[in-house]
Amino acid sequence: MSQSDFVARFGGVYEHSPWVAERAAQHLGTSMDFDQIAALMADCVDNASYEQQLELIRAHPDLAGRAQVAGELTEASTEEQSSAGLDRCSSEEYERFQSLNDAYKKKFGFPFVMAVRNSSRSEILEAFARRLENDPALEFETALVEIHKIARMRLEAIGLAQ
């Protein structure tokens, strides 16, 4: 696969961050499998500057946030949040998500990121509240770990998994 084909196919794996696929494309082997591509892309993020990592984290939408209600999420984010039932929140759950989103961004300066596929709304809310207790450095690293999980699921959805 050419570098440009790789970027075209995988540029959306990391939310609004095609630079990850662009960097990974520079290191493509001739016969890379799913795990190698996932590791290569994750390595590009892990070796990016703090500012680029922060920009990547900030590229993620709030969970059950206003962008979801307005229909402004990427197709992948819409599907992921819907799979966790975040499009079916009760008014109380929605208000709780808004309150947690606001508190989280105030404390950390970036949105709460969690790979929500296969999670329930209550599990997400529990994780949200628990992670609000983290210190900023730990939460920054946790957000990156969750972003890598999301990226891996998106790669699987593209059809790389065997």
The secondary structure of 119-133 as a DSSP string is --HHHHHHHHHHHTT
Q: What are phi and psi of 33, to 5 degrees?
A: -100, 180
27 is catalytic: no
**Cβ of 147: how many Cβ atoms within 10 Å?**
24
| Catalytic hit among 16, 27, 60, 148 | 60
Residue length, the chain?
Answer: 162
The C-alpha atoms of residue 12 and residue 73 are separated, in whole angstroms, by: 13
Among 136, 127, 81, smallest CA distance to 105 is for: 136
User: What six digits make up the tokens of 141?
Assistant: 């690293």
Calculate ∠ Cα 84-153-27, nearest 5°. Answer: 155
**What residues are annotated to the active site?**
60
